[in-house]
Amino acid sequence: MGYKSEEQLILSAMAFAKEVGKSWENGLERLLRFCVRNPAAFLTPRGKQPLKSVDEVDEAYLKKYVGRYYAGRYRAIVLKDVRTKPDPAVDEVLKAYKKVPPEDLNRIGEAHRMSMQAENIVGNLLEAYIARLFELKGWVWCCGETMRSVDFLKDVEGEDIRLLQIKNRDNSENSSSAAIRAGTKIEKWYRSNSRTGETRWEKLLEYCDANEDERCTEEGFYKFVADIAGAMRPVEELSPEEVGE
């Protein structure tokens, strides 16, 4: 059985947060209230249809929702090993098409795998960097995949609700999220153009006013990445909870 009202759901979510030792956050409450009033914004449960009302949200789903929020907000962003096995055919293609010497193949393959690891976390780092500014300007960070195809929400009373999807590059959106956004009010911003390499940080000013010291920039993003990496303990010392597993 699901919840009978918005307030009942919020009270249960508060209890779940307390169970795992987390302080209740206004941002999480705003996300939940928005999703209750717009059920299609909830992530669709695996193997089911999109939710249509609050009474379809059960205790198990809500616990996972609250857990995802806190994991997404406070997890350490780490470079995880690529778990797939290298494809030996790739080496054969490099030898045949690019005349790569056999002795260089291991080095190139390892560099490629490291690049893949880095690409997998750029989006997470980008969201966390932008959140530092946006949360000062009345936006909520939809961390932990708490809303379908939405990364930031602004629901300030007396203003139009704004939903924003963040992408690292213009070609990094999959067809699924594009279809979800069609016909909705979800806006989209991406960091860089995949063909020209040009960045679009100035376009973020369309979503919030920021003075010169507050603005997000490419240089600021690089410094943020370096600071996050520099402050992190060795991966092997982190617990599964700290990396959101």
Place of tokens 């699901």: 2
The band of 60, judged by pLDDT with boundaries at 50, 70 and 90, is very high
Q: Give the model's pLDDT for residue 172.
A: 75
Residue type, 111: A
* pLDDT higher than 70, residue 25: yes
Backbone angles phi, psi at 192, to 5 degrees: -140, 155
More confident residue, 22 or 179: 22
The SS3 call for residue 130 is: helix
* pLDDT higher than 80, residue 178: no
Nearest to 64 by CA among 94, 104, 105, 20: 20
CB under 8 Å, gap of 24 or more: what pairs does 237-245 form? 238/76, 238/78, 241/71, 242/75, 242/76, 243/75, 243/76, 243/78, 243/80, 244/71, 244/72, 244/75, 244/76
